[in-house]
Structure 1
Amino acid sequence: MVINNEWSSYKEDNVDSAQFVKETLLNDNWWMKVDYILAFTTPIYDVLRKTDTDMATLHLVYEMWDSMIENVKKVIYHHERKTEAEYSSFFEVIKLILIDRWTKSSTSLHCLAHSLNPRYYSHEWLSEDSHRVAPHLDKELTQERKKCFIRYFDDVAVRREVNIAFANFSDGREGFDDADSLNDRGQMDAKSWWIVHGVHAPTLQKIALKLLGQPCSSSCCERNWSTYSFIHSLKRNKMTPKRAEDLVFVHSNLRLLSRNSSHYKEEETKLWDIAGDDFSLDDNGILDIASLSLDEPELEIIFFNEDE
């Protein structure tokens, strides 16, 4: 573009800016910096792309996140020509940003799902990196897993039974010690593994099948954005951001609480979570969404006015 003869016509408006753009685009050092930026942000982009899908990735996020930080570190250290033991101020800044984002976005379910993935106990996975340890030996994973079990199982006796089942699973013993069970850990899909080998721990198997089938997508956020667009609209655009956020919070929680009432199942509010702005009960509209689940990203919130 800048070496084209027509580029000279842009100089009439601002000669200095046009010259700066031309010099920059023709500078090899500038393109090397662009390549460097793309190189260390590619692992971050790849994780975002892999997780924001309808595929089951909840049990993969924790490991992908750790690998992503290591891949970013490799690119930066290679560019700065530093050994692993040396300090990089630039990498530390990037690392702090990533950890801050992870702290805001992660939940205990990420750790529990990671702990129930048999692949992370396999010899193949552990031998890929000397720094890797099995989930039951990781302090953070253990703490978060305990939080989930305490919240999920109120009964102490049931929770003790689940803890024993997890101990047997993680250590490969009492039902999980046969050759096929141990060999399939690193070779078989996690959910398939639990279907085939998890019969000896039915309660833990039930939880594992639920978590190992869960996606990590932004659909829940998108529903909140949809609600926000109705509350803070052209007609109501003088609200402060704090008030709008509070109204979205109240609305979303009222919608969740309404699911426990008889009105939700029997009266018109049973349609509250179905479809979107264009939803209609005319013709066959109800059949188009009858088979969908409330957790599917295609569904949005429907609003009914007083006339309806």
Structure 2
Amino acid sequence: MMQHEPCLHLVTCEDWDAWKCQNEDAKVIERSILCSSFWEDIELYVKVCWPIMAMLHMVDMDEACMGVIFEGMDQMVEKIKEILAEEVDGEEMFQQMNEFIQAWWLMMHTPLLATTFLLNPKWFSKSPNKDGEVMKGWKATLNRVGRSAMEKTQLKAQLSTYIGLQGSFGDPEALDDMQKLSTVSWWENYGEDTPLLQRLAIKILSQVCSASACERNWSTYGFIHSVKRNRLQHEMADDLVYVLSNLRLQSRKEASYVSGPCCFWDVEEDLTMEGHIEVEMDVEVGDAEAM
């Protein structure tokens, strides 16, 4: 069954005919729903918006994804460009969308995102050190984290060691593990020759990009410690939040969680998105372990 059949049934039932006589806008709505070009436009909008939603969902996850945002944005733009290339006015549509995307990127972009792209070994083959925007972000980060002129000089020298694959970075195992290990694990195993850069890479690549985990916990706390239950002591409220959160985690391991009347009882919409995001985005999410 096609996804828009329920809408088609809506404007062909007897109840609709009765309501249409009393509402002038009903004819416009009916004409749109019954028009094939309307649904073609809707399908195009869904295709174009899906990479954006996938990107938003990726940065909203509870896992360390700082090292994939820079590349993820490029892939998102290319995916949208590829989709619109098949349309008659695709180039003009892409230019309009790209203006909004670039404005969004300028709003969320920080030097740390460029630095994590530079220090993520998974993108080493893309030569991020030759990208002007990336190196500008690296210099801004360097000026922020360098506590002295000597430390900044040492970080610059150690970055050259990493870019040139000198020392332990040039070991065959290190090159092979660039794509196998998480970014943090890779730096822990092969960054001993550059201790300052190793510490910086592990620190920033372990960062999450969203406060969603805290917000969900606050939401749970607000559900328990509501106006009707404002006499709860803090200790009791904390214990109830702890119990509810762990019940959610425990329930996900049961078969009834993915089937039956109570399937996905806690975060159905989140899990629905997670089931599709991997298909649209090629970047790896969650490859770094939080410190």
Task: Give the counterpart of 2:17 among 8, 17, 31.
Answer: 8
- What does 1:291-306 align with in structure 2 at a 5 Å threshold? none
Q: Is the 8 A contact 2:187 2:202 kept in 1?
A: yes
Please tell me the residue identity of whatever aligns with 1:154.
R
Q: State the alpha-carbon separation in 1 of the partners of residues 192 and 120 from structure 2.
A: 16
Task: Give the counterpart of 1:32 among 30, 37, 40.
Answer: 40
Query: What does residue 21 of structure 1 align with?
Result: 29
Would you tell me which structure has more helix in proportion to its own residues? 2
Query: What does residue 146 of structure 2 align with?
Result: 153
Query: What does residue 41 of structure 1 align with?
Result: 49
Query: What does residue 274 of structure 2 align with?
Result: none
Q: State the alpha-carbon separation in 2 of the partners of residues 165 and 146 from structure 1.
A: 14
Please tell me the residue identity of whatever aligns with 2:63.
M
> Greater relative contact order (Cα 8 A, min sep 6): structure 1 or 2?
2
Deviation of residue 285 (structure 1)? 5.7
Task: Give the counterpart of 1:188 among 181, 184, 191.
Answer: 181
Deviation of residue 80 (structure 1)? 2.6
TM score, norm. by length of structure 1: 0.66
- Alpha-carbon deviations, 1:258-300, whole Å to 9, x = none? xxxxxxxxxxxxxxxxx9997976545678899xxxxxxxxxx
Q: State the alpha-carbon separation in 2 of the partners of residues 283 and 190 from structure 1.
A: 38
Deviation of residue 188 (structure 1)? 2.1
Query: What does residue 156 of structure 2 align with?
Result: 163
Q: Is the 8 A contact 2:62 2:213 kept in 1?
A: no
Do residues 94 (structure 1) and 97 (structure 2) align? Answer: yes
Number of residues paired by the alignment? 224
Deviation of residue 185 (structure 1)? 1.3
Query: What does residue 63 of structure 2 align with?
Result: 55
Unaligned runs of 5+ in 2: 1-9, 220-224, 243-291
SS of structure 2 residue aligned to 1:40: helix
Query: What does residue 211 of structure 1 align with?
Result: 204
Task: Give the counterpart of 2:74 among 41, 66, 69.
Answer: 66
Name the larger-Rg structure. 1
Cα 1:281–1:146, aligned 2, differ >3 Å: closer, same or farther? farther
Cα 1:215–1:276, aligned 2, differ >3 Å: closer, same or farther? farther
- Alpha-carbon deviations, 1:173-221, whole Å to 9, x = none? 1221111111211232211111111111111111111111111115599
Deviation of residue 32 (structure 1)? 0.3
Q: State the alpha-carbon separation in 2 of the partners of residues 10 and 171 from structure 1.
A: 72
Please tell me the residue identity of whatever aligns with 1:22.
E
Task: Give the counterpart of 2:128 among 132, 135, 158.
Answer: 135
Q: CA RMSD in A?
A: 2.9
Please tell me the residue identity of whatever aligns with 2:79.
N
- Identity of paired residues, percent? 23
SS of structure 1 residue aligned to 2:168: coil
Task: Give the counterpart of 2:192 among 192, 196, 199.
Answer: 199
Deviation of residue 91 (structure 1)? 1.1
SS of structure 2 residue aligned to 1:185: coil
Task: Give the counterpart of 1:114 among 103, 114, 117.
Answer: 117
Please tell me the residue identity of whatever aligns with 1:161.
Q
Query: What does residue 76 of structure 1 align with?
Result: 84
SS of structure 2 residue aligned to 1:63: helix
Query: What does residue 250 of structure 2 align with?
Result: none
Q: State the alpha-carbon separation in 2 of the partners of residues 286 and 91 from structure 1.
A: 49
Task: Give the counterpart of 1:177 among 167, 170, 189.
Answer: 170
- Alpha-carbon deviations, 1:138-191, whole Å to 9, x = none? 111001101111111131111111111111112211221111111211232211
Please tell me the residue identity of whatever aligns with 2:162.
F
TM score, norm. by length of structure 2: 0.70
- Alpha-carbon deviations, 1:19-55, whole Å to 9, x = none? 2212211111110000001111111010001110111
Q: State the alpha-carbon separation in 2 of the partners of residues 279 and 59 from structure 1.
A: 45
Q: Is the 8 A contact 1:279 1:285 kept in 2?
A: no
Unaligned runs of 5+ in 1: 83-87, 123-132, 227-274, 291-308
Cα 1:284–1:34, aligned 2, differ >3 Å: closer, same or farther? closer
